[in-house]
Amino acid sequence: MFRLRPSIVNRYKSIACKSTTAPMTSELQELGPQAAAIPFAHAKLGPFFQDKPQLHNQFTEDTTLRSYLRRHIPSQHLPAIESDLERFGGRVATDVYDLHLQCDKELPQLEQFDAWGRRVDRLITSSAWKAMHDISAEEGLVAIAYEREYGEWSRLYQMAKMYLYCPSAGLYSCPLAMTDGAAKIIETVKDQHPWLMERAYGRLTTRSPSEFWTSGQWMTERKGGSDVARGTETLAVPNDDGSYSLHGYKWFSSATDADITFTLARCVDQSGKTVQGTQGLSLFYLELRDDKGVLNSIQPQRLKNKLGTRQVPTAELLLDGTRAAKVSEEGRGVASIAGMLTLTRIHNAMSAAGYMRRIVNLARDYSTRRNAFGNHIKNYPLHVQTLARLEVEARAATLLTLEVSRLLGWDDVGIATDAETQLLRLLTPLAKLYTGKQAMSVASEGLESFGGQGYIEDTGLPGILRDAQVLSIWEGTTNILSLDVLRAITKSGGSALKVYHENIQTRLATARVNEALKSAVERVNEASGNTISFAGKHSDLLELAARDFAYSLSRTFMGALLVEHAAAEGATDMDVYAAQRWCEADLSPVTTALKAGAYTGRAVDANFRLVFDGYPHPSRL
């Protein structure tokens, strides 16, 4: 540290007081060699500016994504897919990223009234948001999955592209997820509703920006975000022409600039009665506006004031006789919209993996530019250890989401075996719930690696954390998804767990001969056995343990994927190292918690007393 002599400090202050904009050359010359020691003497802001982190091609710098694709995609498809992803990997770091930042700044607005008091309900979105619509179509971000140019590999290709896109998407990834889900629903109901193929499917899956439609997914009402069955109050009144008029209040409607949506409502019968619960819910298709842009008896009440995802125009909507078509059998609404949820949950996981990759890439680049205590921070092992832990998390999430996407591709073209279908059903909520949590913690730690700058809005960094925070909430919270894991297992009569265990064993098989992976293989094997045996021996505890159980299934499966990846031909020593580090952690927290007595009646009671210790209204308990 330099110390200035008081006389020089005073001299500096007097120069600084005189100064307005121009450098004070003559005064500095007067000071002679002492001037070198004076901070901020050459310019008002001083001579040092920190280099900002740079985004590089997001495909070429992603070794995990590239090696996974090389391992799986057949050689006749690989060059075309890689070349498109490499080109797009450049765009998401340049022009698309600029639009992303613009979406962050120019937020949607709802203009409800004109100057004369007339209700206009005009949704104003930024030019960047609109550009994202066109880019999404041109790049085929939904279309690729439905064109099926690469057969069953098309889905993996599309999701890999979404993974690159999400952290640069200005949250346009949200309408795309729902649009993808809508296209998938239409495919499943096309025999009963061929008109939907003609009317909407082509537009949802087109590459033409002027034709491209996006979809919403309106499930949440004031009474129910999680408990859709009891919370849905929207009524569907039949019209003479076979259509329905919907009356209700949708509480969280994402991306309300969509063209169409799928939503749930309760049919009213001839005598005005409805059926309560899940059995009373049906699935409806509706278009938000007519050809002239007039809303379909939908009145937006207000835009939601959210922590993050502010780029998305999420609104409360009053449905006041909205014309809609019933597309599920009566009472099969939840089961039908579940197909859409599968897609949006996989998008959610893919987005989480994409955010992790992005923050780690930025953090590592920054570590080569930031100097502290006399050295670039990349040279401090403690800092690099922190980043390495994030890198392991990002790799595990990437492998899991790519693998789920691969299975979805099999399902898309109807070649999935029963076992693969069961695995996809089980892995979808696991991937969604686990990566959603990871993304928040990786984003938070990643921000910290930029010091105070990570907390400054116009670096574009805090937005990653704010937007990541929603990933564990929308599309089902962690606990709801943990219960969905149990639903999937129960519905399969338990065989989903058998499939899961066998799948892990197959993945471990190649790795068993690799000495460096021996301990990792043993740990995954043991965790898989322990977790499955927990389900068998303690089925009465499964609901209470649902979150720990789901984490155990997720962590163990991710371990198996990392190990398998590390044992594959062409794997690097870094693949091996990542697998070793992941498998050092507790892969079966449900086993650990069981041993610690976390699921006993005493623990349940103590949890309650702990939570409400000091609560001022005992009468409410």
Q: Which is nearer to ligand UCC, 158 or 217 (CB)?
A: 217
Q: Which is nearer to ligand UCC, 263 or 591 (CB)?
A: 263
Contacts of 375 (CB under 8 A, 6+ apart): none
Q: Which is nearer to ligand UCC, 403 or 475 (CB)?
A: 475
Q: Which is nearer to ligand UCC, 228 or 587 (CB)?
A: 228
Q: Which helix (H) or strand (E) holds 236?
A: strand 235-238
Site for ligand UCC in 138-167 (CB under 6 A): 166
Considering only 57, 64, 206, 220, the residue that binds ligand UCC (CB under 6 A) is 220
Q: Which is nearer to ligand UCC, 300 or 559 (CB)?
A: 300
Greatest Cα pair distance, the chain, in angstroms, is: 97
Q: Which is nearer to ligand UCC, 264 or 511 (CB)?
A: 264
Residues 463-482 as x/- pattern, contact with ligand UCC by CB under 6 A: -----------xxx---x--
Residues 277-296 as x/- pattern, contact with ligand UCC by CB under 6 A: -x------------------
Distance CA(53)–CA(56), nearest Å, equals 10
Distance CA(59)–CA(54), nearest Å, equals 14
Alpha-helix residue ranges (DSSP H) falling in 140-234? 143-147, 154-165, 173-189, 194-196, 202-204, 228-231
Q: C-beta of 38: minimal distance to ligand UCC in Å?
A: 50
Q: C-beta of 582: minimal distance to ligand UCC in Å?
A: 24
Classify residue 73 as left (phi > 0), alpha (psi -120 to 50) or beta: beta
Distance CA(8)–CA(18), nearest Å, equals 15
Interface segment toward ligand UCC; rule CB under 6 A; list 43-51, 123-131, 204-212, 483-491: 483-491
Considering only 44, 122, 302, 491, the residue that binds ligand UCC (CB under 6 A) is 491
Burial of 194 (0-12, 13-18, 19+ CB in 10 A): exposed
Considering only 64, 168, 245, 254, the residue that binds ligand UCC (CB under 6 A) is 254
Contacts of 235 (CB under 8 A, 6+ apart): 246, 247, 248, 265, 266, 267, 268, 274
Residue whose entry in the numeric block shows the structure tokens 């899940």: 278
Q: C-beta of 480: minimal distance to ligand UCC in Å?
A: 5
Q: Which is nearer to ligand UCC, 440 or 562 (CB)?
A: 440
Q: Which is nearer to ligand UCC, 12 or 157 (CB)?
A: 157
Site for ligand UCC in 329-368 (CB under 6 A): 334-335, 338, 341-342, 344, 347-348, 351
Tell whether residue 315 is a contact of ligand UCC (CB under 6 A).
no
Inter-helix orientation angle 154-165/63-72, to 10° = 170
Q: What is the CA radius of gyration of the chain?
A: 27
Residue 202: which of 169, 172, 178, 179 has the closest Cα? Answer: 179
* Secondary structure of residue 545 in the 3-state scheme: coil
Per CB under 6 A, residues contacting ligand UCC are 166, 173-174, 177-178, 217, 219-220, 226, 228-229, 254, 278, 334-335, 338, 341-342, 344, 347-348, 351, 474-476, 480, 484, 487, 491
